[in-house]
Structure 1
Amino acid sequence: MKEMPKIAIDARMVSRSGIGTCIQHWLKDVGYKIALGDPKELAEYPEVPKHIPFISGIYGYKEQLNFPYCKLRREKPDVLHIPHCNVPLFYRGKMMVTIHDLTHLVYPEFLPSKIVHLYFKFIFWFVCKRANRIIVDSESTKNDLVRFYNADTSKITKVLLAAGKEFIRKPKEDVEYLYEKFNIPRDKKILLYVGNLLPHKNLNGLLDGFAQMKGKEDCRLVLVGKAFAGRTNATKESDLGIADLTIHAGMVSQDDLVNLYNLADLFVLPSLYEGFGLPVLEAFACGTPVACSNTSSLPEVGGDVATYFDPKDPSSVAQALEKSIDSKGMFDDKIDAWVSQFTWEKSARELAEIAAEVAGK
């Protein structure tokens, strides 16, 4: 039996959505020996025996200056796993780095300044040169690394993500309380969007498509996420004449999120770009069909189970919504077979194997 490498991880983002979800699952299953981050947050993960305090913002020079180089060096890890692009520039040990997406390079016009663009342009270049192994969630991100940096494909490995075990099918009676909680009419079909207002998420594209959808009067578009809290008089919805057909649920608990996936007749993801697209698998795991963009990684995650549209063409969005809104329950076996290929245990096992290769164990 091969010796397990001593793996450390920068876990500062553990409490965030997206990358934080990945870190939460990896901390439990990969077999890390050291985690860097907030000791209070890391206390929830006894699977990792050693915690090194590292409380610093993400991105910028402060995290570089505050990185616990000396403390980590004393622990002598075989490999350091950086689960995002913000690598410690002065670390000299072996590193494997997860790059989830290159949104900042694909859509630089969405960044607040040229300086931010230059920062990400440099940091991705540094990862390509410095990392012993680069881990991506999709072929799409791998192709982007090659396109922008002519990255060495021999050191890029794809490790798939998965929906959490809490995302399961539930009986109708267990989720009906949501009608009253979010003022959703019981006699309407429900389209669900989960996300934020970042430009590449393309919410406006979804609203334009929904406004053109035939039969939209028999539907309600439920928008979930922090950005929608208190957003009851959004100008865009009013201008399109769909204000009365749109429900802003705001931030919801994890239980409510799972139940909303179950309650929905269709989940919609209109993003211009995704490095993976976890909500697609989350919706599938709850038995809900998906209509999503035909861009970036989404066809990899949705396979031949999802319905696709051109996110920049409102008529394409509308047609996909019309085609899919009545499909719930029609392809359950196909959905289950597809989702079963994605598990966090498999993701963790592959990360551990990669770390062993990098460490030479």
Structure 2
Amino acid sequence: MKKEILIDVERLKYPKSGIANVCFALMKGLDKDFNAFSYTFYGPTVNMPPSTFGFQQVEWKIWQKIFPINLSKFALVHVTHQLSDYFHQVKNGQKKIVTLHDLNFLHDHSSPQKMQKSKRLVQKNIGNADAIVCISQFVKDDFIKNKHLFQLKENVKIEVIHNGLIFPETKKFTSEQKYEFIDKKYILSIGVLFSKKNQMVLLDLIQQTDRDLVLVSASSKSDYKDQFLAKVKELGLEKRVHIVENANQNEKFFLLQNCESYAHPSLAEGFGIPPVEAMYFGKPIFLSTFTSLPEIGGDVAFYFPDFSSNGLKETYQNGMSAFNQNKFEYETRLKQRALQFGHEKMAESYEKLYQEILA
């Protein structure tokens, strides 16, 4: 009889978030004709992918924070992010795995109160874990450096399993939207307008070029967004900066397919899903040198050495020149690198870890 595993995909309640995409991809990767285990997924079932080979599902309810579901039949519980409000307690003999996406609260200048609140929640999740999965080597190094802040089980296993993506099978995307910029050369960037994403430096870049800038973002309010829009107006870039909010997957892939390049000058990333998506489309990617991004982009990305106006312009011009001189080779290498971060590889790695922990 197969052992039962519960996987927490509660973050599917935010279906456009990065963690939700990874949860969705993990479910698809584990949906195969033979599994070593019997899987049950906990989350909003309306956002779960249909199962070909039959998964069990448990519907997420907010009151389950106080009255948790019965875990008695499960040999292992996998909590898919370190700030979960669920499954802090497990039964004797039950195994637990937690996926750690980042420790950004230690580095993003959070208030002492917010830092302590985040630290307590992470502790509740990882304190009784038998294995902690870090989504990049950078996250693992950062965690080991700060491990003294947490109380952990004595022999806890710390692994790296990169996030995995479901890449589109469609070769050519179309859109019913009439984007005024679609026939122009534009730089694309995907992510919430937020200080750690550092999109404002891209305004200094396009000011020195004839490129447009297209940002795919969520419709949220923030001081950083206000500052960004104020700078757009100050530099007179209103007609060259375009914000596309709440784009679905098809729209996002359409914009990736038609962009000249992709830029991600982020100051803090645990992984970096959008650069991988851009690589799959064979687009030249321009990244910061911070946190996990060099690990993701490898030797096929171009890197901003700093964010000075001249540094941004020089990196972009040199990168585009190198890309265009060897376009087919670059496109091939970019797609090959993206495929290293596929959802089936991620699922295989998790299933192998489940087997090790339950051996």
Taking structure 1 as the reference length, the TM-score comes to 0.83
Q: 1:166 to 1:45 in 2, by over 3 A?
A: same
User: 2:275 corresponds to which residue?
Assistant: 280
Report the AA paired with residue 222 of structure 1.
Answer: V
SS for the counterpart of 1:241 is coil
Q: Is the 8 A contact 1:221 1:246 kept in 2?
A: yes
Q: 1:167 to 1:249 in 2, by over 3 A?
A: farther
Q: 1:47 to 1:270 in 2, by over 3 A?
A: farther
Q: 1:54 to 1:253 in 2, by over 3 A?
A: closer
User: 1:251 corresponds to which residue?
Assistant: 246
Report percent identity of matched pairs. 24
Report the AA paired with residue 134 of structure 1.
Answer: I
Q: Does 1:49 align with 2:41?
A: no
1:45 deviates by: 4.0
1:55 deviates by: 1.9
Q: 68, 77, 82: which one pairs with 1:80? A: 77
User: 1:156 corresponds to which residue?
Assistant: 158
User: 2:181 corresponds to which residue?
Assistant: 184
Q: Equivalent residues in 2 for 1:157-172 (5 A)?
A: 157-166=159-168, 170=172
1:88 deviates by: 2.6
Q: Equivalent residues in 2 for 1:84-103 (5 A)?
A: 84-85=81-82, 86=84, 88-92=87-91, 93-103=94-104
Q: 1:43 to 1:252 in 2, by over 3 A?
A: closer
Q: Is the 8 A contact 2:304 2:312 kept in 1?
A: yes
User: 1:59 corresponds to which residue?
Assistant: none
Structure 2: gaps spanning 5 or more residues: none
**Distance in 1 of aligned mates of 2:215 and 2:16:** 20
Per-residue CA distance 1:67-108 (angstroms, 9 max, x = gap): 32xx222xx11111100012532223311010111112221x
**Distance in 1 of aligned mates of 2:268 and 2:229:** 24
Q: 1:169 to 1:321 in 2, by over 3 A?
A: farther
1:247 deviates by: 1.6
SS for the counterpart of 1:156 is strand
User: 1:353 corresponds to which residue?
Assistant: 352
User: 1:25 corresponds to which residue?
Assistant: 25
User: 1:129 corresponds to which residue?
Assistant: 127
1:136 deviates by: 1.2
1:193 deviates by: 0.9
Structure 1: gaps spanning 5 or more residues: 57-61
SS for the counterpart of 1:184 is coil
Q: Is the 8 A contact 1:169 1:262 kept in 2?
A: no
Q: Is the 8 A contact 2:282 2:332 kept in 1?
A: no
Q: 1:301 to 1:236 in 2, by over 3 A?
A: same
1:259 deviates by: 1.6
Taking structure 2 as the reference length, the TM-score comes to 0.83
Q: 268, 288, 294: which one pairs with 2:289? A: 294
Per-residue CA distance 1:207-241 (angstroms, 9 max, x = gap): 23433x3xx12x11111122389x99921211123
User: 2:204 corresponds to which residue?
Assistant: 208
Per-residue CA distance 1:168-202 (angstroms, 9 max, x = gap): 664xxx55x68x7111163x321001111122111
Report the AA paired with residue 294 of structure 2.
Answer: P
**Distance in 1 of aligned mates of 2:98 and 2:146:** 17
